[in-house]
Every structure is written in structure tokens, then in C-alpha cells.
Amino acid sequence: MATLSISEVKISNMALSHIGAKSAIESMTEDSTEANACDLWYTFARRMTLASYDWSFARRRLTLADHGDDPPSGVWSYRYQYPSDCIVMRKLENPSGLAAIAFYDGNKNYEPDAVPFDIETDDDQDTKSILTNLDDAVGVYTFDLTTVTMFSEYFVMMLSYAIGSLIAYTVTGQTDMKDRMEENFRNMAVAASASDANERVDAPPRDADYIRGR
């Protein structure tokens, strides 16, 4: 599959085009109002767009590391470190709670059970931690992806609208442009999630525990 020919500058110029800016940029660090605005908001917009959906190209699985601090007594049994590159923790999986699901070719796919968890600061209140009752938990999360060639076309479009909404007034002085860009972002999110979902096949729904235990 060919990768998308894209860069941070191109995405920023897409945003400038959306809002009707008079000038494009050649560098994020050039001395212009447009470049300064794009450079200020690009990373924030990228992280916000990553957080908006469980993108398959930005998904990572990791066996979580023990935090060291005790979990809240009587509430949770384990406290894990929040991965340093995590944008959003989507779910925890139990690596030993595997359900065998037969497919037509006779092979089996193993889908780990999702488990309850919560996010809180640690005892020093300076980092996030993950609380759960699961030992040896595996976290599935959206990570802080910066490699633009990994972005899908829909993600690029959403990111350009996100940037556009954040720089619109600074660049154009139009108070209604921000709202228009945010609406475009929301509309694109619907199509983006559908497109991303087309590149996977989910396992059939599982029976409840009390049914599987019969």
C-alpha cells in the first residue's frame, strides 16, 4: 500500500486553505502570522484528533508496568503506570481470559476479555495511574503518533479542520470561521470512523459469563 505523501506543512496549508487564508507557508518556523499560528496549534490539534477516536493506525498494546504506589484500599487491587506515550487508554485486556471463537476455516481467533479500570493521579498527584482488579493487565491505547505518513486520509482531513478551527480568528479575523471548522471536524469524524472500521473484522458477540459457565 502506498503511503500518503504528506507533511506537517502540507496539513497546515490544508488548514489555511479551509479558512481562506491569503498565504500558504513553506516552513512551520518562518516569520509569518500563518506559520506562527500553525506552529503554535499543530501538536495540540494532532493530539486532540488522535484522542477523538480509536484509530487503528495509532493503536498500541502493552503489558502494563506496576506503579509502586498502593491502589486505594477496598476499591481496586492493582495500580499500574500510565504509559508515557498514551493519549487515551481505550481498554484493558486479560491475557489469560481467552475465548476461543471458531471460524469457517477451522482456525481459532482468541479475543481477550475487556476488564473494568479507572484513571487517577498517583499519591504524589504528578502522574496518571491506572487502577484495576486485574493482575498482569495489558493496556490497549491510542499512542502519541507523530509520523505523518502513518496518518489515514480521513485523519489528515480531520486534523486540518482541527487546526483550522484553532487558527481561524488569528489568521482571518472572522469570528464565525471557528464554528464552521468545528462543524466540518464533527462531520468528518463520522466518515472517518466508518472508513477506519472497514479495515477490520470484529469477532462475533460473546455470551455473558453466566451463559458461558453453563
Predicted model pTM: 0.82
Which tens digit of pLDDT belongs to each residue from 77-119? 999 999 999 999 999 988 776 543 333 344 445 455 568 999 9
CA–CA distance, 181 with 171 (Å, rounded to integer): 13
Cell triple for residue 115?
Answer: 476488564
CB 181 within 8 A of CB 161: yes
Tens-place pLDDT, residues 50-83: 999 999 999 999 999 999 999 988 899 999 999 9
Query: How many residues appear in the chain?
Result: 214
pLDDT score of 73? 85
CB of 29 within 8 A of CB of 35?
Answer: yes
Q: Average pLDDT of 40-52?
A: 97
Nearest to 83 by CA among 71, 67, 97: 67
Sequence spans of domains, the chain: 8-53+152-197, 57-143
For residue 141, the model assigns a pLDDT of 97
